[in-house]
Structure 1
Amino acid sequence: MSPPATSTRPTRNPLNSLLAGGLSGMVAKTIVAPLDRIKILYQVSSDRFMLREVPEMVRRIITREGVTGLWKGNAVMMARVFPYAGVQFMVFDYMRHYWGTMPGGMTPGRSLISGSAAGLTSTVITYPLDLARARLAVQKGRNKPGMGGVKSVMKEILAKDGLLGIYRGIIPTVTGMVPYAGLAFTTNDLLRKFVSKRPPIIGGMTPKDGAEQGRGRELGTYEKLLCGGVSGLVAQSAVYPLDVTRRRMQTAGGVEGAGGMMVRRNMWETLTGIYGEGGVRGLFKGLTMNWIKGPVAFSVSFTCFDYFKDAIERRGGEKEGERREARVLVRRGTGDKLDLTRGEDDETMVAVVFKDEDDEEEIIGLEKEAGGK
């Protein structure tokens, strides 16, 4: 499963999240694509997975297909990852902004709901491309006429299974995405909150907000990557059997390299069939590969997202410095809104303040007050 995109601060313009998230997802997936292809090849076969055999499999792929064979199906993945990661960022940021305006702020329960909603939305939108990518990934040998591209794969699926064929395996995918995305987002939020209230792990870095006073501070990049990596490992391990099941359903029948497997039509038959073939080990085949590529994918995704988002907002004039120049003048209402004045021209602004369950606040955007100065 793709790593869920997360952010500590909702962006002012949701399109910024869409673009930055899509680009960061593409970079991360391209880097881990060789590991992902090897994992899929093991998932859809009856062979026992052994980590020490991975280098030999890499050698065989390069010999048979060339170095580019390690990235077979990656072009399809890029077409899927951009909208997938982008929509995840955009939906989660929107819901984070929404909960931030509500009493209680972003609680773990609301984070679970938001993460699940973001994952489900992006999965349903991009699933046909994920299916095509899985079919291409299990092909052996160099591309043959009529079998090398997305169009030919989609035509083959439609000819054999009809329109419903392009959504084969979506039930275990959706079933797995609810706990996967929810666990990943919630665990990430809880870990970030925990780390932000403690001094930095690496010495020489000064907390911006003073963790010594029990208030949250801004996390360093390495801390964000660590929290995201741990969150991804927890979520992926919990729902991994469903990931194996969906890959079997996606690639069973009609694709060279996926032969030898019984074609099972529903999720339960596929799941029990995998268990019958390899027991509990079969349900977690290739998981150790995820433990290798998972932290790498999360680290790259987080780092690139921060870079892309900052660059996009800088071009759009939404600089972080502009937000920091604002000073609080008056609290009003329930405290969910603040009157702000930008020191430069004394223009009255209204900011929505993100509040968590500990009543800690963070300004997440500035808007000109309706009817203001």
Structure 2
Amino acid sequence: MVPNAAIAQRDKQSLNYIIRSGLAGGIAGCVAKSVVAPLDRVKILFQASNPDFQKYAGSFVGTFRAGHDIYKQSGLRGLFQGHSATLIRIFPYAAIKFMMYDQVHHFLMPTKAQETNARRFLAGAISGTMSVFFTYPLDLIRVRMAFHTRTTNYTQGPPRPSFTYAFSQIYNERPINPAHTTEVVDAARPFNRYPLLKFYRGFTVTIAGMIPYAGVSFLSWGFLRSRFLPPSKAGHENPTPIADLAFGALSGALAQTASYPFEVVRRRMQVGGITRPDRWLSWSETIGAIWQARGWRGFYVGLSIGYLKVVPMTAVSFAVWQGGKRLLDA
């Protein structure tokens, strides 16, 4: 007879299981992002140094004042500006991330005895990196949609850009003064030759930030579950929604702290085509600009709202993911 462990291992590598695991992850991501969408809009405005909202940055009170200002200007729709692009992106992103984590976890740690913190971190980092690679252009479009306010309409476009408008704006970006310096021409040449590269502004810093974010998130999640949840006795995971929420919240807080400076740099690079259309912002230039403006504190601007957003989002995401897997028998 084939051992039960071998049967379970084979089942978790089947296409049917992969689809169910991915579906549970995609739904979890959409639910979690919808819960915190207004906070996400405000956080993007803070991180990208939107001139209309810098006066609110740096405090919990400022976060809610900014949200109130957006609501006064544009109503409830304004708080969810860019959310359509978020949902288009987050379903495949979360589906790939959680599905990949399941697969990499079973590859690196087929048994409980083989689970280590280093392997948990590696499994999370790999799953996060793969999900970002396939969905990054959608994230860039979402950030562009969320960044626009009354005084940031540099391109004379609509005050609330659509998905198609943001896509067109990115695709058609060109340096406005190529004769100013040879460096601008050299830096822009790859983007002019391969326009799709424009949809990967800030990609390298995103990958650099995703490794500690996803790695710490799944490391914390796996460690907490192994430390505080009793072993399964019936061959399947027992429903633990409260524990899933608590472990997810703590995992999100730790992951956000570890990766936040990368996220600030990424947002500034992503909106570079709006704020600095004459050049392609590099790592060093972006980091230098942040440091000159606010010192080390500039790399943590919006962190308080980051906690307000990431802690409930990660808690809901992990809890819905586990609940979805149980519902879909995955």
TM range (shorter): 0.7 to 0.9
Among 170, 174, 177, which residue is 2:207 paired with? 174
* Alignment partner of 2:321 out of 297, 305, 308: 305
Give me the TM-score of the superposition, normalised by structure 2. Answer: 0.79
Q: Which one of the candidate residues 167, 172, 177 is aligned to 1:159?
A: 172
Deviation, 1:218, is 5.2
Pairwise CA distance, 1:239: 1.2
Task: Pick closer, same or farther for the CA change 1:219–1:189 going to 2, 3 Å.
Answer: farther
In structure 1, runs of 5+ residues without a counterpart are 1-9, 198-206, 210-216, 319-373
Q: In 2, Cα distance between the equivalents of 1:19 and 1:41?
A: 31
Measure the CA separation in 1 of the matches of 2:301 and 2:241.
Answer: 32
**2:141 maps to 1:121:** no
Larger Rg: 1 or 2? 1
Secondary structure at the counterpart of residue 265 of structure 1: coil
Give matches, 1:313-332, under 5 Å.
Answer: 313=329
State the Cα distance separating 1:146 from its structure 2 match. Answer: 9.4
Is the contact made by 1:228 and 1:299 (CA closer than 8 Å) also made in structure 2? yes
Query: 2:219 matched to which residue of 1?
Result: 186
Instruction: Determine whether 1:150 maps to 2:163.
Output: yes
Paired amino acid for 1:193: S
Question: Which shows bigger deviation, 93-102 or 153-162?
Answer: 93-102
Percentage of pairs with the same residue: 34
How big is the alpha-carbon RMSD for the aligned residues of Structure 1 and Structure 2?
2.8
Greater helix share, 1 or 2?
2
The answer as to whether partners of 2:239 and 2:323 remain within 8 angstroms in 1 is: no
Distance apart, 1:150 and its partner CA: 1.7
Give 3-state SS (helix, strand or coil) of 1:66's partner: helix
Which residue pairs with 2:270 in the alignment? 250
2:173 touches 2:277 (CA, 8 Å); kept in 1?
no
Write out aligned runs for 1:80-229 (5 A): 80-101=89-110, 104-141=113-150, 145=158, 148-161=161-174, 162-196=195-229, 220-229=240-249
Q: Which segment drifts farther, 272-281 or 127-136?
A: 272-281
**Aligned partner of 1:34: which letter?**
P
Distance in 2 (CA, whole Å) between partners of 1:245 and 1:126 is 19
- Measure, in 1, the Cα distance between the counterparts of 2:70 and 2:212: 34
- Where 1:160 maps in the other structure, the secondary structure is coil
Q: 1:145 to 1:276 in 2, by over 3 A?
A: closer
Alpha carbons of structure 1 residues 253 and 49: separation in structure 2 relative to 1, 3 Å: farther
Change in CA separation of 1:92 and 1:172 when aligned onto 2, cut-off 3 Å: same
Letter aligned with residue 315 of structure 2: S
Report how far residue 67 of structure 1 moved: 1.1
TM-score by length of 1: 0.70
Stretches of structure 2 lacking an aligned partner (at least 5 in a row): 1-11, 175-194
Please give the alpha-carbon distance, in whole angstroms, between the structure 2 residues aligned to 1:89 and 1:231. Answer: 15
Instruction: From the two aligned structures, give the one with the greater strand fraction.
Output: 1
Cα 1:272–1:15 change in 2 (3 A) is: same
Cα distance, 1:26 vs structure 2: 0.3
Q: Note if contact 2:149-2:159 (Cα within 8 Å) is conserved in structure 1.
A: no
Change (3 A) 1:100 1:71: same
Distance (whole Å) between structure 1 residues aligned to residue 21 and residue 215 of structure 2: 19
Residue 55 (str. 1) matches residue 57 (str. 2): no
Q: Is the 8 A contact 1:196 1:218 kept in 2?
A: no
Counting matched residue pairs gives: 286
Contact 1:77 1:129 in 2 (8 A): yes
Do the aligned residues in 1 keep the contact of 2:173 with 2:273 (CA within 8 Å)?
no
Residues 218 and 11 from structure 1, CA distance in 2 versus in 1: closer, same or farther, beyond 3 angstroms?
A: farther
Q: 1:219 to 1:193 in 2, by over 3 A?
A: farther
Structure 2 counterpart SS, 1:140: coil
Residue 289 (structure 2) pairs with residue 276 (structure 1): no
Q: Distance in 1 between matches of 2:144 and 2:280?
A: 16
CA contact 1:196–1:219 (8 Å) conserved in 2: no
1:347-358 → structure 2 map (5 Å cutoff): none
The change in CA–CA distance for 1:208 and 1:119 in structure 2 (over 3 A counts) is closer
Residues 11-26 of structure 1 aligned to structure 2 (within 5 Å): 13-26=17-30
